[in-house]
Structure 1
């Protein structure tokens, strides 16, 4: 006859686990002997090993007692149901691991690989890390709304980075973000470049479709996010409106007459 400690050791569990199984009715609790100790026989050892085996296999404790009482067909059917549930849980955990890996990868968090590649190109042309992070978070907003469209946009976005004016724009925006004060000259230069590029995009038909523009929430979020990242973005929006554009995100003309946009000469 075994003490509770000997029983636990033989079955490969802790004494605390044995007591817990007593409390929930999975393992009968023997009476105390004349010395005041509970003694366990071979039947208790076998029962405890069965319970431990099912628990380690992922069977909920609340279902173990009914399984132990079931006949062979019922036991097999129950095991199949449990196996299917465990398979679903494993798939969910694998998906969670992939998401954790994406978070650890920085730019890949919540973004397709095409966007991560684009962000690396921004670094290569001289964009500051702070600007790249802001751009990344902006693309997260867009990807949440249009995951497939974002992938379709990336080839043209990469091609645009071959334009030295756009390279200059990212360099100017980087300087603005890194600077502590409002630099009106840099803001004006950035607004001039964006207005000219917007005008050319409209002339060439390289703009958002009317259906996309009707779904204004992503653009509203992008504009709001830019101001949250740096309040000076509001000044940039004002400068863009003076040049006839709603913002740098929509590339949509303001209502009414549009003033001519003249690119300033830089020294």
Structure 2
């Protein structure tokens, strides 16, 4: 006859596990002998090994007792159900691994490859990390709201980076938004932005016909991101209003 420690060792579990199986009713707890000790026989070892095997296979303890008492058909059906659950769990974990890998990859978290390439291009052009991070956060919102439109929008975004004035604006904004930067350069940034949007307006490129610009709550959300990311964003928008333009994501000429 075996002590609880010997039983646990034979079955490859801990004494604590044996006591837990007693508590939940999976393994009968023997009566104490005249000396006050509990002793276990061979059948207890077999039962405990079955419990451990099912538990190690991912069977919830609440189901283990049912399977131990099941006939062959019922057992087979239950095992297939458990297998399906485990397959679903594996798929979930594989998805989690991909998300963790994206997190380690930085920009690629929640962003499509086209946007990642765009952010890389900004860096190549000398745009500050702080400015690139702001762009990245904005594109995370955009990609979540309009995932199917990204591929159509990105060629125009890359084309804008061929304009020296646009590149100058990005670099200047990056410098202005650095901690301790001279706020007086915000006026210079506003002047450049006005020049860019007026040129675009003259070419008929500010008609805002895209349905995304009609999503007013979302446009407001993107504008709020500018202000929440840096309080100087609000000052820059004020300077734009002084120059006759309102908004940020959807720039419009004031009456």
Give the Cα–Cα distance (whole angstroms) in 2 for the partners of residues 204 and 224 of structure 1: 28
Residue matched to 2:197: 198
- 1:220 equivalent to 2:223? Answer no
Correspondence 1:127-206 to 2 at 5 A: 127-178=127-178, 180=180, 182-184=182-184, 186-206=185-205
Following superposition, the deviation at residue 181 of structure 1 comes to 5.0
TM-score (norm 2): 0.93
Give the Cα–Cα distance (whole angstroms) in 2 for the partners of residues 209 and 9 of structure 1: 74
Residue matched to 1:106: 106
TM-score (norm 1): 0.89
Residue matched to 1:265: none
Following superposition, the deviation at residue 220 of structure 1 comes to 1.1
Following superposition, the deviation at residue 253 of structure 1 comes to 3.0
Query: For residues 183 and 127 of structure 1, do their structure 2 counterparts lie closer, same or farther at Cα, with a shift above 3 Å needed?
Result: same
SS across alignment from 1:70: coil
Give the Cα–Cα distance (whole angstroms) in 1 for the partners of residues 253 and 76 of structure 2: 68
1:90-137 deviation digits (Å, cap 9, x = unpaired): 111111111122122111122112211111111111111111111111
Residue matched to 1:245: 245
Give the Cα–Cα distance (whole angstroms) in 2 for the partners of residues 47 and 205 of structure 1: 80
Per mean C-alpha deviation after superposition, the further-off stretch among 107-116 and 57-66 is: 107-116
1:211-263 deviation digits (Å, cap 9, x = unpaired): 22220222212221111221111121122223332223113333x2xxxxxxx
Whether the 8 Å contact between 1:26 and 1:65 is mirrored in structure 2 is: yes
Correspondence 1:1-40 to 2 at 5 A: 1-40=1-40
Give the Cα–Cα distance (whole angstroms) in 1 for the partners of residues 93 and 252 of structure 2: 44
Corresponding pairs, count: 254
Following superposition, the deviation at residue 77 of structure 1 comes to 0.7
Per mean C-alpha deviation after superposition, the further-off stretch among 214-223 and 131-140 is: 214-223
Q: Which runs of 5+ in 1 are unaligned?
A: 257-267
Whether the 8 Å contact between 1:194 and 1:248 is mirrored in structure 2 is: no
Give the Cα–Cα distance (whole angstroms) in 2 for the partners of residues 93 and 253 of structure 1: 50
Residue matched to 2:81: 81
Give the Cα–Cα distance (whole angstroms) in 1 for the partners of residues 247 and 25 of structure 2: 68
Following superposition, the deviation at residue 210 of structure 1 comes to 4.7
1:129-149 deviation digits (Å, cap 9, x = unpaired): 111111111111111211121
Following superposition, the deviation at residue 203 of structure 1 comes to 3.8
Following superposition, the deviation at residue 182 of structure 1 comes to 4.7
Following superposition, the deviation at residue 201 of structure 1 comes to 2.9
